């Protein structure tokens, strides 16, 4: 599965790479990340390998990420080739509540800022960054639909929202004939699998491609922390955020350390880096459209790209599955075999037989019309 194999995102005709380049590390304003020359090298390496999908946000490194990305695209005249995904929601003006959130006023303000920093007149995928808990989905979807109609954005997405909110927003779009949601962006890795409960099937059934961030769990699965070498120490994003109260940033615990230990063992058996195995596992999970990989060093990105070069044997994949499987909770425990068997009378029942609707894969030999 080379990086220059492209698949459509959600229920659209937009073709994107299975690995997206994350640019939250473009800039050092947040205490980690890459200087401009290194960021440029990473962008060029990704593009030269065939990648076409780049993720950023107005928030990232206080705007530096978008600015540098726009600069790198312009330097190589790649605007028509690169699919830019950027996001809005976060506030950079303390004391001004309308300079953040997901209301119409902030969306229209934020999109103009992103267009200016990126040096472009349109954004391919514009994503609500985080649910603000107060703005009605109707207002969000109408505003984003207006932006599509104006030509300033091409497609829309949601990131870090409740499943019910994503479902409601997509239903509003369908009912009112607004531009539908093309993508969901959520955290997913061996260490964080909670989206399997709702979001994966939500995206599959409602036409939203699931993009996932942090496949290395903020560096926990990168190979930097190895149980065989004495445990947890070092510097980087995981260390910078260690004292943050939000549970999403608390990656170091007994459960996750068991996952790291098994990942280290499996990687050794495969002769691959821990990061490659972790990214490969994530890319090949059901319902995953694209995996965002970020790096602060060129060598890290080069290693991540190699995650597409191999397959994990079933026996090893099962070991990773078992050590990382989330604990079953209500009501999901009622959807497992025993209760379902009681519903279906012990008979084998399925949706459609295997191979009922094979996927479409076009192996193009030509290079286009000349």
Confidence of residue 360 (pLDDT cuts 50, 70, 90): confident
Q: What range does the domain containing 202 cover?
A: 6-322
What was the pLDDT predicted at 259?
97
Whether residue 340 is contained in a domain is answered as: no
Whether residue 117 is contained in a domain is answered as: yes
pLDDT at 201 over 80: yes
For residues 129-158, average pLDDT:
98
Percent of the chain residues topping a pLDDT of 90:
80
Confidence of residue 250 (pLDDT cuts 50, 70, 90): low
Whether residue 370 is contained in a domain is answered as: no
**Alpha carbon 158 to chain centroid distance?**
11
Verify whether residue 356 is a known catalytic residue.
Answer: no
What was the pLDDT predicted at 227?
84
Name the DSSP class of 162.
Answer: -
pLDDT at 147 over 70: yes
Measuring CA to CA, which residue among 285, 153, 306, 315 is closest to residue 210? Answer: 285
> Higher model confidence: residue 189 or residue 31?
189
> Higher model confidence: residue 79 or residue 248?
79
Q: How far apart are the first and last CA of the chain?
A: 27
Confidence of residue 302 (pLDDT cuts 50, 70, 90): very high
CATH number of the domain that 226 lies in? 3.20.20.100
What was the pLDDT predicted at 276?
98
pLDDT at 177 over 90: yes
pLDDT at 237 over 70: no
Confidence of residue 244 (pLDDT cuts 50, 70, 90): low
pLDDT at 15 over 80: yes
Which segments of the chain are extended strands (E)? 6-8, 15-17, 19-22, 53-55, 83-88, 123-128, 153-159, 181-187, 209-213, 288-293
Name the DSSP class of 293.
Answer: E
What was the pLDDT predicted at 307?
97
What was the pLDDT predicted at 235?
55
Q: Which residues contact 7 (CB under 8 A, 6 or more apart)?
A: 15, 16, 18, 289
What was the pLDDT predicted at 361?
84
- Please provide the average confidence, as pLDDT, over all residues in the chain: 93
For residues 195-208, average pLDDT:
97
For residues 192-206, average pLDDT:
97
Provide the number of structural domains found in the chain. Answer: 1
Catalytic residue (choose from 60, 126, 188, 225): 60
Whether residue 331 is contained in a domain is answered as: no
For residues 243-255, average pLDDT:
73
What was the pLDDT predicted at 242?
59
Whether residue 81 is contained in a domain is answered as: yes
Whether residue 365 is contained in a domain is answered as: no
Residue 30 near residue 61, CB atoms below 8 Å: yes
Please state the pTM of the whole predicted model. 0.93
> Higher model confidence: residue 335 or residue 201?
201
Measuring CA to CA, which residue among 196, 194, 199, 195 is closest to residue 181? Answer: 199
Confidence of residue 152 (pLDDT cuts 50, 70, 90): very high
Whether residue 213 is contained in a domain is answered as: yes
pLDDT at 238 over 70: no
Whether residue 116 is contained in a domain is answered as: yes
């Amino acid at each position: 599965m080379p990086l220059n194999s492209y698949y459509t995102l959600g229920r659209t005709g937009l073709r994107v790479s299975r690995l997206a380049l994350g640019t939250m590390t473009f800039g050092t304003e947040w205490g980690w990340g890459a200087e401009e020359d290194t960021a440029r090298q990473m962008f060029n390496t990704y593009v030269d390998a065939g990648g076409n999908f780049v993720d950023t946000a107005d928030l990232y490194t206080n705007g530096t990420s978008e600015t540098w990305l726009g600069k790198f695209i312009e330097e190589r005249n790649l605007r028509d080739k690169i699919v830019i995904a950027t996001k809005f929601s976060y506030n950079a003006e303390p004391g001004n509540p309308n300079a953040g959130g997901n209301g119409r006023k902030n969306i229209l303000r934020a999109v103009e800022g992103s267009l200016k920093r990126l040096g472009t007149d349109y954004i391919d995928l514009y994503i609500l960054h985080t649910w603000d808990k107060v703005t009605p989905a109707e207002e969000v979807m109408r505003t984003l639909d207006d932006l599509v109609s104006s030509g300033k954005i091409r497609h829309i997405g949601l990131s870090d929202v409740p499943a019910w909110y994503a479902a409601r927003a997509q239903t509003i779009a369908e009912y009112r004939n607004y531009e539908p949601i093309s993508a969901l962006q959520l955290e997913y890795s061996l260490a964080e699998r909670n989206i399997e409960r709702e979001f994966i099937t939500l995206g599959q059934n409602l036409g939203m491609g699931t993009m996932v961030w942090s496949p290395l769990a903020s560096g926990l699965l990168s190979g930097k922390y190895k149980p065989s070498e004495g445990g947890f120490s070092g510097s980087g994003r995981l260390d910078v955020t260690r004292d943050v109260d939000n549970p999403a940033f608390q990656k170091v615990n007994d459960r996750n350390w068991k996952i790291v230990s098994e990942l280290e063992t499996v990687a050794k058996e495969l002769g691959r880096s821990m990061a490659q195995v972790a990214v490969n596992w994530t890319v090949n999970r059901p319902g995953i459209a694209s995996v965002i990989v970020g790096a602060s060093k060129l060598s890290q990105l080069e290693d991540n790209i190699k995650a597409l070069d191999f397959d994990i044997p079933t026996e090893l994949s099962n070991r990773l599955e078992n050590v990382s499987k989330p604990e079953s909770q209500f009501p999901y425990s009622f959807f497992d075999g025993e209760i379902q068997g009681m519903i279906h009378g012990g008979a084998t029942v399925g949706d459609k037989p295997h191979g009922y609707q094979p996927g479409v894969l076009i192996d193009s030999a030509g290079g286009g019309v000349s």
